[in-house]
Amino acid sequence: MSKQAYTVCFCFQRRFKLAAAEAPNEIKTLFEQYSENGIMTVDHLQRFLIEVQKEDKATKEDAHAIMDKLYDLKHLNIFHRRGLHLEAFFKYLFGDVNPPLSPTLAVHHDMTAPLSHYFIYTGHNSYLTGNQLSSDCSDAPIIQALQRGVRVIELDIWPNSTKDDVDVLHGRTLTTPVELIKCLRSIKEHAFSASEYPVVITLEDHLTPDLQAKVAEMVTQTFGDMLFSPGSECLKEFPSPESLKKRIIISTKPPKEYLKAKEVKGNENDSQKENDSAWGKEVPDLKAGIDDSDEDDDGDEEDLDDEDLKSQRIAAPEYKNLIAIHAGKGKGGLQDWLRVDPNKVSRLSLSEHELLKAVVTHGKDIVRFTQRNLLRVYPKGIRFDSSNYNPLIGWMHGAQMVAFNMQGYGRSLWLMHGMFRAYGGCGYVKKPNFLLKSGPHNEAFDPEVELPLRTTLKVTVYMGEGWYYDFRHTHFDAYSPPDFYARVGIAGVPADTVMKKTKPLEDNWIPTWNEEFEFPLTVPELALLRIEVHEYDMSEKDDFGGQTCLPVLELRSGIRAVPLHNEKGEKYKSVKLLMRFEFV
């Protein structure tokens, strides 16, 4: 056998060898401190929960409950009748019974404030299965979003090919339609599978009045008493999520009523073009049709003056009465859009591009507007691939509905998943007080001002495991175990945002890094802990090995088992990290 052949054979042999995970030295030291003669009793475990895990109210019953969950490990001879051996203690720390976020306190914040006081889990073009240009439209991604806890579903509604019914599709593109009624029925069936708090349906309406009337009939018959319908008038204040449990809310731009106009001389072509637009007859234009013409944009046919219309256009009153959250921009510019009306509340939509421009000159006005009104932000039109944008820009200015392509991918979507892991995944996260209240001189929060240090999060990355079971053994390297490293950091306001990483560990399916990082935080309420694992590759792009994002203020202090997810946000079966979180 040649030397080269021998080397390859040796590497293959090494690849499949897996040593058992061993507790890091700090875990062994802690076990010695909280045990006696190699046994951790219920009393020892209770003290550990209080002093290390910072579970101040932990009782002996809580410690007993943990031991009961570990009882099925007794066949491994790591469970003693009087308590836990080191290995059982390690299994507890690194097990599903010890997650980084609270498994029991689902909704433990005030849910009785107006809707405008919450960040809301919001989808964009919720019916698309893939890209914005040519993917299928379906109710399947709507169902998946609702099962994840998304609370705002967007539907673009157009006349069908025979103009006698309503389809959902991304207009002026090659996306294949799905019937509106199918989407509505799926929303009804799955709306509250993950959360009992209200679902908002935002409609981008391209219908004629007779089809609007048909939509009103569909919606009322489908949802019945589930529908929250306050009538045609604008709300003076938004109701609370608590008062709207298991209710469906419709939000769109109210159609205007037109009186019969006198016969006027006008441009026949313009009139015909307007009529064609209302019926959805536009010639497909793949660039012009993307969502920069969202439902609140100026310039649609409903903003034309009466004299520009040649025939009577009466909005269907039953459709208008369905709309609980009125959307619109008005006639003026940004300053007018952001004007706060003390007598009514509404919803404003801005593209991510519009928001980026607006925060430069009107940042505090946006914060003040969102104290009473809803702001929806949606992806810019050139995101044909269904990618997303940085959600923190919207959140730090109080935007409640930061709308994302949930069928997309990438780090921005991971941040969205992370924000709404809070509060049991109910889909509503209470905004911090500084975004809800004005100062003593009526000043609003300024996201651009660097604030004093509030706290420091200390993160220890002990080790990881599970790749050996969840990946093909040749996934990372054909001839040797992977060289893993972890990236840990903060996504938040600019002053808090940072990423750090461990050293890569060569040839190890169970890497033990034992590295510590500190993250000073000025606005912990908007901070997300970013965690990623990659496999170092000297000659090519590093391989992805898992990720998660966690809301910092929801983290449980102490040593926790952190499950990782794939690039789509789906949790791996086995891959997880052992980490410690401390606020100092």
DSSP β-bridge partners for residue 463: 512, 578
C-alpha triplet 331, 332, 338: angle, nearest 5°: 110
Cα of 30 vs its chain's centroid, Å: 36
Catalytic residue (one of 85, 117, 170, 417): 170
Q: For residue 528, which of 429, 426, 387 has the smallest C-alpha distance?
A: 429
Helix (H) or strand (E) holding 317: helix 317-322
Q: For residue 559, which of 579, 582, 575 has the smallest C-alpha distance?
A: 579
Q: For residue 182, which of 162, 206, 160 has the smallest C-alpha distance?
A: 160
C-alpha triplet 294, 297, 301: angle, nearest 5°: 105
Catalytic residue (one of 44, 85, 117, 124): 124
- The verdict on whether 170 is a catalytic residue reads yes
Cα of 87 vs its chain's centroid, Å: 37
Helix (H) or strand (E) holding 456: strand 455-465
**Residue 425 has what DSSP assignment?**
G
Residues contacting 255, CB < 8 A, separation 6+: 205, 209, 212, 302, 315, 316, 319, 320
- The verdict on whether 124 is a catalytic residue reads yes
- In angstroms, the CA 276 to CA 264 distance is 19
Q: Within 24-98, where are the H helices? A: 25-33, 42-51, 60-70, 86-93
Label residue 386 left, alpha or beta by phi (over 0 means left) and psi (-120 to 50 means alpha).
left
Three-class DSSP labels, 59-73? CHHHHHHHHHHHHHH
Torsion angle of C-alpha atoms 294, 299, 301, 302, degrees rounded to 10: 80
579 SS3 class: strand
- In angstroms, the CA 446 to CA 396 distance is 9
- Residue 349 exposure: Cα atoms within 13 Å on the Cβ side: 26
**Do 564 and 506 touch, CB atoms closer than 8 A?**
no
DSSP β-bridge partners for residue 530: 489, 549
Whether the CA torsion 289, 291, 294, 298 is positive or negative: it is: negative
Burial of 543 by CB count in 10 Å (0-12 exposed, 13-18 middle, 19+ buried)? middle
Go through the chain and tell me how many residues it has: 584
Active site residues: 124, 170
